[in-house]
Structure 1
Amino acid sequence: MSELLVADSFRVRRNPTTGIAEVRGWQFHLDRFARSAASALDERGAAPSESVDAFVLAASERVNAFGDGFPRFELWLDPDDTVRWGLSERPLPALTEVIALRSIAFADIAGLHDLDRKGPNIERYLAVNHELGAEALMLDASGHAVEGATTSLVWWDADGRGARTVPGARVDSVTERLVAEAAPQQPPTAAPPGGHPELAARDAGVAELTESEVWAVNALHGIRVVSHIDGVATRTPDASRLDWFRAVLEHSWEPVLLDGRATGAW
């Protein structure tokens, strides 16, 4: 049975004016996929039949032709120990704006590995979501929140100070990066003392999160408000802040093709 070494999925929309397919933070997705693939291939001393550049350029043409959807770039390890690229062309799932989370410790999920790489744990995380009947919120050995099964976390305290979980043994989120880069540029309305700082990377347990406004962010849905964690309601979101950041994401669409050619050369 083939093993998924690396995956990178992203929402695609067809620009209503140009007709060109677009992806939010497209170059960030390309960079993450190339970086993760290089790491996985280096660990195995293997190489596919074509370079990542050649694969992405050809796959981008197919992504553009497919249009609205949720495609996924892939790197596979086959049973004969050969490696190959893959592209899954998938329709766009239903989009939602609210989500509930249920916590589970990493230690209680068997078979996880390469936690900082998107791909190897996808099927296991989906199975855990099914078992929990909700999106899983993974906790480390100290009970601190790390990430959701398909999302990263951003949260805001009562004074408007934002935070995100500490980087490290988790997937590097493109959407989280877009939110974090915009955070210091928020409008001054209702700013905390000293203005809007960068999103602080810090630890937080479930109890602190339920006292905060929590967002689950990913490439498919953008920003979803976390309504409950383990059945406990979170802080009601600040509507103006939420609308502003969603508008920021709406300005982050980048064309998959430029002048008829695929973008994303490294």
Structure 2
Amino acid sequence: MAQPAVLEGLLRWTPAGGLTPGADTEVGGRLLVADSWLVRGGRVRGLERHRERFLRACAECDGPPLRRLLEFWQDTAAALPRTGEWFPRVELTADSRELRLLLRRSPPLQPDIRVWAVGRPDPRTEPRRKGPDLDALAAVRRRASEEGATEAVLTTPSGAVLESATASILWWEDDTLCLPSPRLPVLAGVTAGLIQERARRLGIRVTHPERTLAELDGREVWLVNALHGIRPVREWTGHPMSAGAAVHAAEWRSWLDGISEPLPKE
């Protein structure tokens, strides 16, 4: 049986009515929680991990009861398209504690990335929860765009690398996989978590050293997230830094693309 026509755009959720189209004027506004992932041909990578992160974040900010969240998630999974490329976002609004699904087409995927090599002070108020600071992070990306880059790196007051505006940062020091320390104010990235787990299964050493941007000069650096997967930095702008050769990226991208799973049956 063919899937019903996709209700693209903003969908509001209620226990009685499920997901229904919302007025265009309702798109935006401050969010308490948000989570998003890539859907390609009805397959998703790490969907259960996104679910758990969303549920946990909603509980931390006194969101709806768990049974309502589970009902919303079930309706969301059923509404996701089984064809094409999409980048949906689940939301919990700040003003009315309303649950919403923003069903949007995926932007073009990027195999690599140009990054502004000037550390930006972290503007987030809730760095460990995705949602409240999306507008502030969008402003960081706009500033990076003015410098001819796609992304900018957030840093601590002492200059330690945290993450980019939309992605976790990983890098290689010889054959050691490195990430910022989880003690730092960083978002627990789903894709970064999958990569770390595979590295440990393969016996690859994983460490969490504090590094400044300058200390990443010449290294293989990745920006990773649920949309683009692994993007090696191909160029740094705004500062005399060189991008290291992407020695590991191709094999890891192939693995990451291969672990997507079919969406639940409707």
* TM above 0.5: yes
The amino acid of 1:91's aligned partner reads R
Q: Distance in 1 between matches of 2:234 and 2:180?
A: 18
Is 1:94 aligned to residue 101 of structure 2? no
Is 1:210 aligned to residue 217 of structure 2? yes
Q: Residue 250 of structure 1 corresponds to which residue in structure 2?
A: 257
Q: CA deviation at 1:87?
A: 0.3
Aligned 8 A contact 2:138 2:165 in 1? yes
Is 1:52 aligned to residue 59 of structure 2? no
Match of 1:36 among 53, 57, 71: 57
Aligned 8 A contact 1:13 1:69 in 2? yes
Q: Residue 117 of structure 1 corresponds to which residue in structure 2?
A: 129
Q: Residue 12 of structure 1 corresponds to which residue in structure 2?
A: 39
* TM-score normalised by length of structure 1: 0.81
- Tell me the secondary structure at the aligned position of residue 73 of structure 2: helix
| Stretch deviating more after TM superposition (114-123 or 227-236) | 227-236
Q: Distance in 2 between matches of 1:64 and 1:141?
A: 43
The amino acid of 2:125's aligned partner reads H
Aligned 8 A contact 2:119 2:159 in 1? no
The amino acid of 2:38's aligned partner reads R
Alignment of 1:218-233 (within 5 A): 218-229=225-236, 230-231=238-239, 232-233=241-242
For residues 127-155 of structure 1, the C-alpha deviation after alignment (integer angstroms, 9 at most, x for no partner) is: 12112213110010110100000010110
Is 1:132 aligned to residue 144 of structure 2? yes
Match of 1:70 among 56, 74, 87: 87
The amino acid of 2:128's aligned partner reads D
Q: Residue 157 of structure 2 corresponds to which residue in structure 1?
A: 141
Structure 1 regions of 5+ residues with no counterpart? 15-20, 187-194, 262-266
What stretches of structure 1 move > 6 A for 4+ residues in a row? none
Identify the structure with bigger relative contact order (alpha carbons < 8 Å, sequence gap 6+).
1
Count of matched residue positions in the alignment of Structure 1 and Structure 2: 231
The amino acid of 1:128's aligned partner reads V
Q: Distance in 2 between matches of 1:66 and 1:253?
A: 14
Q: Distance in 2 between matches of 1:3 and 1:49?
A: 22
Structure 2 regions of 5+ residues with no counterpart? 1-27
User: Aligned pair in 2 of structure 1 residues 61, 149: CA closer, same or farther (>3 Å)?
Assistant: same
Is 1:152 aligned to residue 168 of structure 2? yes
Q: Distance in 2 between matches of 1:222 and 1:3?
A: 26
What is the identity percentage for the equivalent residue pairs of Structure 1 and Structure 2?
32
